[in-house]
Amino acid sequence: MIKDGLLIAQNVEKLNLENSEQLRIHSIESFGTHDGPGIRMVVFVQGCQFRCLYCANPDTMNIKGGSLMDIEDIVARAIKQKPYFGKKGGVTVSGGEPLLQRSILKKLFLRLHEEGIHTTLDSNGRLIDKEAKELLDHTDLLMLDVKHFQNDWHKKLTGLSNTNTFKVAQHREATGKPMWLRYVLVPGWSDQEEYLHQMGEYFKDFKTIEKIEVLPYHQLGVHKWEALGMEYKLKDVKPPSAEILERTAAIFRNYFRDVRVN
């Protein structure tokens, strides 16, 4: 049962509730097919520090929004859907930014593993501390969202540095556990060829990266920004053309063995 409630932690870095058995969520999707391998139940958590200019779900940013849901209720829903997961599917936790609730998510992932359910974490890599590392230990697949390789451009797009994102990638590589990269291609903002090559050079020797997904920028979330009274600053930016997408994919193929355009 989803319950309304006030967020106990006031500091966004402490959204993780050490003794809680509840997760602050935005919504749950039952049959996701673009959030990891196979058919997945996708839990979208509430709260995010990034302020991505193209965010499709700005209503997930507010750490005091959403609802509280018991971990066991989430597990029960996953068990009911387990027959649809097959050999590849499972549960993906996306956001918002899941690492803000890392200690609670560790409890969830431990329970899911007890039920034989595959776990995936879709994260921007904002935080890397002891609790984050413990969560990653129980994460079967990390999907790491790299918003931009160059830090100044990253700050323009998200408002924050990308330093921790690469620390998370380095930690994941050191564990030897699988990782996918995700990259949103925004014309004029994240399609600069020099930085695409630099990103490829940086990651080319990582053994844990199974593939990189290029996600074309879109404006499907504009109405949400307007409903929240927030200014959408990329109104004049059009989705990338097939030519731009193919050029980007061709660059990444020099460095990654599997490049997908979603």
- Beta strand pairing call for 22-32 and 40-45: antiparallel
* pLDDT confidence of residue 4: 31
Other CB atoms within a 10 A radius of the CB of residue 17 amount to 17
Q: What is the rounded CA–CA span in Å between residue 107 and residue 113?
A: 10
Q: How far is the C-alpha of 40 from the C-alpha of 31, rounded, in Å? A: 5
* Full-model pTM: 0.91
What are the average pLDDT values for consecutive 10-residue runs of the chain, which has 262 residues?
A: 33 47 95 94 97 95 94 98 95 96 97 98 96 98 98 98 98 98 98 98 98 96 95 96 97 98 92
Provide the pLDDT for residue 8: 30
Residue 209 DSSP SS3: strand
Which pLDDT does position 30 carry in this prediction? 92
Calpha distance 177→209 (Å, rounded) = 9
Q: 213, 182 in Cβ contact below 8 A?
A: yes
Instruction: Identify the pLDDT of residue 9.
Output: 34
Residue 209: both structure tokens together: 């990266």
CA–CA separation, 85 and 63 (whole Å): 30
Highest CATH level, class, for 22-261: alpha beta
Are the CB atoms for 206 and 173 separated by under 8 Å? yes
**Confidence (pLDDT) at 141:** 98
Residue that has been written with the tokens 């564990």 in this structure: 175
Distance (Å, whole) CA 98 – CA 116: 21
